């Protein structure tokens, strides 16, 4: 089981310490190896100089080789012909270096340790001179090893101290860096459903914490808007449901208090059925919207000729228009097809056209157009001669239970759900619905769909 620190600050410190320790170890090892290589290279250069000195004497003044061995600048060397030693320094025999001849072959310099434990660097060479003498030179490595031990001690002691100091600094730095997170956490802790207007502080909108705070503030803003819509929806739904229920109760109580004949009873029952029908329509609308929100509506699409659908809807709503003396004019471009659910799209168009009939004046004219737009989409447009919608209401007109004129909408039997259902139906079919309106000059609703 891997133990994982719960604190981000501690986790950052651990990762920082691990990375820094690896870097320091690699750096220390690199320094040690570099110093060792430099010292060995310098010692090997000295051996080559010693070998060159002995070689020069053998070549130019061979009889002076013993003088070099006794009083020369080369501390350790031996010259031999076969098994016969020609010359050697006093230190050579003292350190018993002749045993190195069997262990150090001819070639580059190598390290060797005597039986007494003394380290040496030895260079063994056969010279290209008469008799091919063998020359072996040596240097004591003790000074080099002492220097390397000093470097190792400094690195072994200094590296952990450097890592420890860096870890402490990293821990403090991580704490300072995470202060904005702690501030946001504390502020977010006090934001509840009743205080969604609160926002997180943003110290610097250009850094990561600032962008996080802005993103969370945007989320809180959307939540606040959703909660507000939910509150308004709940209040409106309660009010709309209470109205027909109250009417039913009132009509029933009046019927019980009066002595009614058969005609009077029929009138009371008719009133109750009317309110019951209104309540049923309202509940059905709410159920449709809630199923759409939950993704429970199955959208089975088929290729539909839009001009024919518009004609069917005009025929259905035309009866209501005739009661107000209104005229519905249909101008449809033939041959426009869309992949839609016909029932859902028909209901969306019925709701839009029904609104146009409700809000247009008696003997007014309503235009229904089916056409291809410049962007290659199919448009179902409904233009009325109603009072229009003020600019401040246009963005909200498709919200549930929203009414630009609440009193007038209720008088006409509306619950403020028709356009919300229309928008949901159109969007589920891959389209969109748009509104163009000027106050006092009517509205034009456009249902836009991809052409197939």
Q: Give the residue extent of every domain in the chain.
A: 8-164, 208-293, 302-450
- Distance between CA atoms of residues 136 and 101, nearest Å: 8
* C-alpha torsion 210→212→213→216, nearest 10: 160
C-alpha separations of 261 from 258, 265, 266, 275 in Å? 10, 6, 9, 21
Give the pLDDT confidence of 322-361 residue by residue, as tens digits: 989 999 999 999 999 999 988 889 888 988 998 899 889 9
Q: Strands, E, within 94-219: which ranges?
A: 107-113, 119-126, 134-140
DSSP-based three-state secondary structure for 328: strand
Helical segments of 360-399, H only: 391-394
> Which H or E element spans position 156?
helix 142-177
Residues ≥6 apart with Cβ < 8 Å to 251: 268, 271, 272, 275
Look at phi and psi of residue 364 and say left if phi exceeds 0, alpha if psi is from -120 to 50, else beta.
Answer: beta
* 336-342-346 Cα angle (round to 5): 90
DSSP-based three-state secondary structure for 199: coil
**Number of other residues whose CB lies within 10 A of the CB of residue 277:** 11
- CATH number of 8-164, picked from 1.10.10, 3.30.230, 3.30.450, 1.20.58: 3.30.450
Task: Spell out the per-residue pLDDT of the chain, length 452, in tens.
Answer: 455 666 777 888 888 888 888 898 999 999 999 999 999 999 999 999 998 998 898 888 888 888 888 888 888 888 888 788 888 888 887 877 777 777 788 888 888 888 778 888 999 988 888 878 888 999 998 888 989 899 999 988 988 888 888 888 888 887 777 777 777 777 777 777 777 777 878 877 777 777 888 888 888 888 877 777 777 666 656 655 665 677 667 767 767 777 767 777 777 777 777 767 767 766 776 676 666 666 666 778 899 999 999 999 999 888 888 989 999 999 999 999 999 988 889 888 988 998 899 889 999 999 999 999 989 999 999 999 988 888 888 878 887 777 666 544 445 555 577 788 888 889 988 999 999 988 778 899 999 999 98
> Which H or E element spans position 363?
none
337 φ, ψ to 5°? Answer: -120, 150
* C-alpha torsion 220→222→225→228, nearest 10: -60
Look at phi and psi of residue 63 and say left if phi exceeds 0, alpha if psi is from -120 to 50, else beta.
Answer: alpha
DSSP-based three-state secondary structure for 110: strand
Number of alpha carbons in the 13 Å side-chain half-sphere of residue 11:
7
Residues ≥6 apart with Cβ < 8 Å to 47: 109, 121, 122, 123, 137, 138, 139
DSSP 45: H
- Distance between CA atoms of residues 368 and 313, nearest Å: 10
Q: Strands, E, within 401-442: which ranges?
A: 432-437
- Distance between CA atoms of residues 196 and 190, nearest Å: 9
Say if residues 157 and 94 touch (Cβ distance below 8 Å): no
The angle, 0 to 180 degrees and rounded to 10, between the axes of the packed helices 342-359 and 306-323 is: 30
Look at phi and psi of residue 79 and say left if phi exceeds 0, alpha if psi is from -120 to 50, else beta.
Answer: beta
Give the pLDDT confidence of 373-388 residue by residue, as tens digits: 989 999 999 999 988 8
- Distance between CA atoms of residues 153 and 168, nearest Å: 23
Parallel/antiparallel/unpaired status of strands 432-437 and 337-340: unpaired
> Which H or E element spans position 329?
strand 327-332
Look at phi and psi of residue 413 and say left if phi exceeds 0, alpha if psi is from -120 to 50, else beta.
Answer: left
* 125-127-131 Cα angle (round to 5): 125
C-alpha separations of 322 from 83, 122, 201, 326, 360 in Å? 136, 121, 60, 6, 12
pLDDT for position 286: 66
> Which H or E element spans position 202?
none
- CATH number of 208-293, picked from 3.20.80.10, 1.10.287.130, 1.10.3720.10, 3.20.20.120: 1.10.287.130
- Distance between CA atoms of residues 403 and 414, nearest Å: 9
Q: Which fold has domain 302-450?
A: Heat Shock Protein 90 (3.30.565)
Sign of CA dihedral 297, 303, 305, 306: positive
């Amino acid at each position: 089981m891997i133990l994982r620190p719960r604190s981000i600050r501690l986790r950052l410190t651990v990762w920082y310490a691990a990375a820094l320790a690896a870097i320091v170890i690699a750096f220390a090892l690199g320094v040690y190896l570099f110093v060792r290589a430099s010292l060995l290279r310098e010692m090997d250069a000295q051996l080559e100089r010693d070998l060159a000195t002995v070689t020069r004497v053998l070549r130019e003044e061979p009889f002076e080789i013993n003088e070099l061995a006794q009083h020369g600048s080369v501390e350790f060397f031996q010259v031999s012909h076969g098994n016969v030693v020609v010359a050697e320094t006093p230190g050579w025999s003292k350190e018993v270096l002749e045993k190195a001849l069997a262990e150090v072959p001819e070639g580059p310099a190598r390290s060797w340790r005597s039986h007494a434990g003394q380290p040496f660097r030895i260079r063994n060479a056969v010279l290209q001179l008469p008799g091919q003498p063998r020359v072996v030179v040596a240097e004591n490595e003790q000074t080099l090893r002492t220097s390397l031990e000093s470097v190792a001690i400094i690195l072994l002691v200094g590296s952990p101290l450097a890592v420890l100091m860096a870890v402490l600094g990293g821990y403090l730095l991580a704490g300072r860096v995470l202060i904005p997170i702690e501030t946001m956490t504390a502020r977010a802790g006090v934001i509840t459903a009743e205080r969604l207007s609160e926002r997180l502080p943003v110290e610097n909108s250009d850094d990561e914490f600032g962008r996080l705070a802005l993103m969370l503030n945007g989320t809180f803003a959307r939540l606040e808007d959703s909660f507000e819509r939910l509150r308004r929806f709940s209040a409106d739904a309660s009010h709309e449901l209470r109205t027909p229920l109250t009417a039913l109760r009132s009509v029933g109580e009046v019927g019980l208090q009066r002595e009614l004949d058969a005609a009077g009873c029929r009138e009371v029952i008719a009133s109750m059925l009317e309110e019951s029908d209104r309540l049923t329509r309202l509940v059905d609308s709410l159920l449709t919207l809630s199923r759409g929100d939950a993704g429970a509506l199955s959208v089975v699409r088929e290729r539909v000729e839009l001009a024919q659908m518009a004609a069917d809807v005009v025929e259905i709503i035309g009866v209501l228009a005739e009661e107000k003396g209104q005229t519905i004019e249909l101008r449809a471009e033939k041959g426009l097809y869309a992949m839609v659910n016909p029932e859902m799209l028909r209901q969306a168009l019925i709701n839009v056209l029904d609104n146009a009939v409700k809000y247009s004046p008696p003997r007014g004219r309503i235009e229904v157009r089916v056409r291809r737009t410049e962007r290659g989409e199919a448009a179902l447009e409904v233009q009325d001669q109603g009072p229009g919608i003020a600019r401040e209401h246009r963005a909200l007109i498709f919200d549930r239970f929203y009414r630009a004129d609440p009193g007038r909408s209720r008088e006409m039997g509306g619950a403020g759900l028709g356009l919300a259902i229309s928008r949901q139906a159109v969007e589920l079919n891959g389209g969109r619905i748009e509104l163009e309106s000027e106050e006092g000059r009517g509205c034009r609703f456009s249902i836009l769909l991809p052409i197939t």
